[in-house]
């Protein structure tokens, strides 16, 4: 496979998985599967340094804050931790510490790596004034009202020599017993169950209604204290102070002076893991000396003085009852193993994706096989391998069909996506999946149009295309939905009310809802900012202007080709035109009064505090138009370290050049 193509594929996949995990609390891959892809990305970046992109997960932390809450800029970046998977990794880390210590003794503080949601609490004159999520490490979400509902968080700190302003950092978790009680209540109310305590904690803290957060028992464990002037000398002093201030601090802590002690603690905690009343997924190794921590500093993503030694993924053995094929909205055929239900880490697992035909053939997974699967905090786990010695004598190799399981059309192999696809755009399975996507939470968010109801409406012939949804209410008397099985007058009324609300839509969500291949939420926002209005979108689709999309940072030839193919299809264009007649699509105007209003800006080089993607978003919010290439029309160039040809071009053209610090000051952020 082409290395450049594989690299972009990995970047896009990992960004999607990070958003699912950090923002939407709905991970779809295991931690182990994510780490495997992430390590492949690092290997490519090491082998081909010129491939490294500013939006690479190796250069970013967490994921962008959503629009649900007000944004909060962290005065001090909230970085994530580098992962270790073996004793060799820890040995390399230990040598790094000893080298930085220049002959002085190195003490390590070992703490359990809590599996929850990172949060920061700001206190001024001892009073709690703000609570925020980590977000992408630079900008998080203001969840102050929700944080105030947590019973074990002190509203006031009374202590001598307390700095005027301090930030307490820690993890918001849900204990296992509280997660089980919450799921019992969810089941009683026929609501969605939370796959694990981490998802439950994240979803509960990020509720728009603080009373919902209050009703779900969350716990905050503190592990760090940040202030402009540090008054402590060691991490252990900080932990002791946090406990003295009234915060919950885990009692599973050890101070070690050699690797043998550290590995022993790791092994002991791994054995105790299942007995703890909260989830952990590893051990954090951290330099105890705060001066050494400061000396070692941090990369753009990780502090160099700490590392997380991850536990191996939890595993279980079960039986493959069947292998079924699912047809996605883009026509991709995905095999899924239906399993005899098995509990792994407190979660009942009954399905696991097999990804594609090559995966089935490579692992030789058959119906009836006993298989070993693993789970590491995910929803759908990964089958590691079958157990041939336990295979039934009649278990035959799985034969991938030559035709679509839904419409019977022939299948094609997509070399670009390494997938088998049904190319019939009239395939009912694809149409239904596209409708489900259109009505989903991050698109038009039409409550009452879930999987089951949409399948019913499609089967009855009432909804065949997205615009049909907005014509349902006008046909109310004709279709008489209230009298059909599974419906009632109240559910129908609620559905129509939700559809009416969806008639007002932002352009980025409108574009995302169309289901254009490779156009997720982040690309939809880029396109919405570029087009500005639905009218402009339609105008660009009718001429050769679409090539201008290549000037947008983050859109390359492959994405442009998918956009062009989609908009060149007359059925798709007719759908868009009908939707524009039905929906009021708000324009995406840039900040007319922003400090960078009407400026065209280009970013180049590597920045200390921001990724290029983050910088671009901040610039757009401040009124600028962000471009990927320098021209005579460019107003400003922001240059980081290792800036190359773009900086040279800007100097030749006499364009104003800013440093990262200059840029942050202009937009009102203190670097």
Residue 629 confidence (pLDDT): 80
Q: Rounded to the nearest 5°, which phi and psi values hold at 395?
A: -75, 115
How does DSSP classify residue 475? G
CA–CA gap between residue 476 and residue 481 (Å, rounded): 7
Residue 218 confidence (pLDDT): 94
Give the residue numbers marked as catalytic: 113
499-513, 517-531, 539-553, 622-636: which range is least confident on average? Answer: 539-553
pLDDT tops 60 at residue 367:
yes
CA–CA gap between residue 297 and residue 91 (Å, rounded): 19
- Residue-wise pLDDT tens digits, 10-50: 888 887 776 666 555 555 666 666 777 877 888 888 777 77
Residue 185 confidence (pLDDT): 82
pLDDT tops 60 at residue 589:
no
CA–CA gap between residue 94 and residue 602 (Å, rounded): 40
Residue 420's contacts (CB-CB under 8 Å, 6 or more residues apart) are 332, 333, 356, 357, 400, 411, 412, 413, 414
Residue 153 confidence (pLDDT): 94
Task: Write down how long the chain is.
Answer: 671
Host H or E run for residue 316: strand 314-327
Pick the residue with more confidence: 344 or 528? 528
Name the token pair of 618: 């901040």
Pick the residue with more confidence: 560 or 189? 560
Burial class (CB in 10 A: 0-12, 13-18, 19+), 8: middle
Residue 59 confidence (pLDDT): 63
pLDDT tops 80 at residue 135:
yes
Residue 543 confidence (pLDDT): 64
Pick the residue with more confidence: 239 or 526? 239
CA–CA gap between residue 489 and residue 482 (Å, rounded): 5
How does DSSP classify residue 455? H
pLDDT tops 90 at residue 508:
no
Percent of the chain exceeding pLDDT 90 equals 31
Residue 21 confidence (pLDDT): 63
Residue 30 confidence (pLDDT): 61
- Residue-wise pLDDT tens digits, 405-445: 988 888 887 655 567 888 887 899 999 999 999 998 888 98
Domains plus CATH for the chain?
A: 3-59 (1.10.287.610), 71-310 (3.30.470.30), 314-419 (2.40.50.140), 425-502 (1.10.150.20), 506-586 (1.10.150.20), 600-666 (3.40.50.10190)
Residue 439 confidence (pLDDT): 92
Mean pLDDT across the chain: 85
What is the residue-wise DSSP string for 256-277? ESSHHHHHHHHHHHHHHGGGSS
Host H or E run for residue 519: none
66-75, 166-175, 327-336: which range is least confident on average? Answer: 66-75
Residue 467 confidence (pLDDT): 95
Residue 661 confidence (pLDDT): 86
Q: Please compute the mean of the pLDDT values over residues 157-167 and round it to a whole number.
A: 89
129-133, 564-568, 578-582, 586-590: which range is least confident on average? Answer: 586-590
Pick the residue with more confidence: 661 or 283? 283
Distance in angstroms between the alpha carbons of the first and the last residue of the chain = 41
Residue 415 confidence (pLDDT): 56
pLDDT tops 60 at residue 61:
no
Name the token pair of 192: 């969605």
- Residue-wise pLDDT tens digits, 368-385: 999 988 864 444 578 888
Q: Please compute the mean of the pLDDT values over residues 587-602 and round it to a whole number.
A: 74
| Residues facing residue 131 across a β-bridge | 121
Residue 361's contacts (CB-CB under 8 Å, 6 or more residues apart) are 397
Residue 49's contacts (CB-CB under 8 Å, 6 or more residues apart) are none
Q: 638: pLDDT confidence band, cut at 50, 70 and 90?
A: very high
97-106, 212-221, 308-317: which range is least confident on average? Answer: 308-317
Host H or E run for residue 391: none
Q: 593: pLDDT confidence band, cut at 50, 70 and 90?
A: low
Q: 590: pLDDT confidence band, cut at 50, 70 and 90?
A: low
Name the token pair of 559: 């994405």
Residue 380 confidence (pLDDT): 58
Residue 377 confidence (pLDDT): 45
pLDDT tops 60 at residue 104:
yes
Helix then strand then coil, % of the chain, to nearest 5: 40, 20, 40
Q: Rounded to the nearest 5°, which phi and psi values hold at 340?
A: -65, 120
Percent of the chain exceeding pLDDT 70 equals 90
CA–CA gap between residue 150 and residue 155 (Å, rounded): 10
User: Locate tokens 């019913």: which residue?
Assistant: 456
Look at residues 493, 503, 59, 517 and name the one whose alpha carbon lies nearest to residue 298: 59
CA–CA gap between residue 194 and residue 327 (Å, rounded): 26
pLDDT tops 60 at residue 212:
yes
Q: 219: pLDDT confidence band, cut at 50, 70 and 90?
A: very high
The tally of CA atoms less than 13 A away on the side-chain side of residue 614 is 28
134-138, 156-160, 413-417, 545-549: which range is least confident on average? Answer: 413-417
What is the residue-wise DSSP string for 99-141? HHHTTS---EEEEEEE-SEEEEEEEETTEEEEEEE-TTSSEEE
Which residue blocks in 84-234 are alpha helix, DSSP H? 87-101, 144-147, 176-188, 197-205, 210-215
């Amino acid at each position: 496979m082409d290395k450049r193509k594989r690299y972009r594929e990995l970047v896009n996949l990992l960004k999607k998985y990070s958003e699912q995990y950090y923002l939407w609390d709905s991970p779809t891959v295991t931690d182990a599967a994510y780490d495997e892809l992430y390590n492949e990305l690092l290997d490519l970046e090491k082998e081909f340094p010129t491939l490294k992109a500013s939006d690479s997960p190796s250069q970013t932390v967490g994921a962008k804050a959503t629009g649900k809450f007000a944004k909060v800029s962290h005065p001090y970046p909230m970085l994530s931790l580098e992962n270790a998977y073996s004793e060799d990794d820890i040995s390399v880390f230990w040598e790094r510490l000893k080298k930085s210590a220049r002959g002085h003794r190195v003490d390590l503080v070992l703490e359990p790596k809590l599996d929850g949601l990172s949060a920061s609490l700001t206190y001024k004159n001892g009073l709690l004034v703000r609570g925020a999520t980590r977000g992408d490490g630079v900008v998080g979400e203001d969840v102050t009202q929700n944080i105030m509902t947590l019973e074990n968080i002190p509203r006031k700190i009374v202590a001598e020599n307390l700095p005027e302003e301090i930030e307490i950092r820690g993890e918001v978790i849900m204990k296992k017993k509280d997660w089980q009680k919450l799921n019992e209540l969810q089941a009683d109310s026929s609501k969605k169950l939370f796959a694990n305590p981490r998802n439950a904690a994240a979803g509960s803290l990020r509720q728009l209604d603080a009373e919902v957060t209050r009703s779900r028992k969350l716990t905050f464990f503190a592990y760090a204290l940040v202030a402009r002037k540090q008054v402590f000398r060691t991490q252990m002093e900080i932990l002791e102070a946090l406990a003295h201030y009234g915060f919950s601090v885990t009692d599973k802590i050890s101070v070690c002076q050699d690797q043998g002690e550290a590995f022993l603690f790791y092994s002991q905690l791994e054995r105790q893991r299942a007995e703890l009343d909260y989830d952990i997924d590893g051990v954090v190794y951290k330099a105890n000396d705060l001066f050494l921590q400061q000396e070692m500093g941090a990369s753009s993503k990780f502090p160099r003085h700490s590392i997380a030694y991850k536990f191996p993924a939890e595993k279980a053995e079960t039986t493959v009852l069947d292998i079924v094929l699912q047809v996605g909205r883009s026509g991709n055929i995905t095999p899924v193993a239906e399993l005899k239900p098995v509990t792994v880490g407190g979660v009942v697992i009954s399905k696991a994706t097999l990804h594609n035909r090559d995966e089935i053939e490579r692992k030789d997974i058959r119906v009836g096989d006993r298989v070993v699967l693993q789970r590491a905090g995910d929803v759908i786990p990964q089958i590691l391998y079958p157990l041939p010695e336990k295979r039934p004598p009649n278990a035959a190799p799985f034969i991938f069909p030559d035709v679509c399981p839904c419409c019977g059309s022939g299948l094609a192999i997509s070399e670009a996506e390494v997938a088998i696809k049904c190319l019939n755009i009239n395939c009912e399975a694809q149409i239904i999946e596209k409708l489900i996507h259109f009505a989903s939470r991050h698109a038009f968010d039409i409550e009452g149009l879930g999987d089951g109801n949409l399948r019913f409406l499609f089967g009855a012939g009432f909804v065949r295309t997205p615009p049909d949804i907005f014509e349902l209410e006008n046909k109310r008397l004709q279709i008489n939905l209230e009298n059909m099985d599974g419906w009632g007058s109240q559910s129908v009324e609620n559905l129509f009310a939700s559809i009416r609300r969806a008639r007002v839509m932002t352009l980025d969500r409108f574009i995302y809802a169309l289901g254009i291949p490779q156009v997720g939420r982040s690309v939809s926002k880029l396109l919405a900012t570029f087009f500005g209005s639905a009218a402009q979108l339609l105008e660009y689709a009718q001429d050769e202007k679409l090539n201008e999309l290549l000037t947008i940072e983050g859109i390359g030839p492959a994405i442009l080709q998918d956009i062009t193919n989609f908009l060149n299809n007359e059925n798709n264009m007719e759908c868009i035109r009908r939707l524009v007649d039905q929906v009021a699509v708000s324009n995406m105007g840039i900040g007319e009064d922003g400090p960078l209003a009407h400026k065209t800006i280009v970013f180049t080089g590597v920045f200390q505090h921001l990724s290029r993607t983050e910088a671009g978003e901040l610039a757009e919010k401040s009124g600028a138009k962000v471009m990927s290439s320098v021209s005579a029309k460019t107003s400003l160039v922001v240059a980081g370290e290792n800036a190359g040809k773009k900086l040279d071009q800007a100097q030749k053209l006499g364009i104003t050049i800013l440093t990262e610090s200059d840029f942050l000051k202009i937009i009102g952020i203190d670097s």
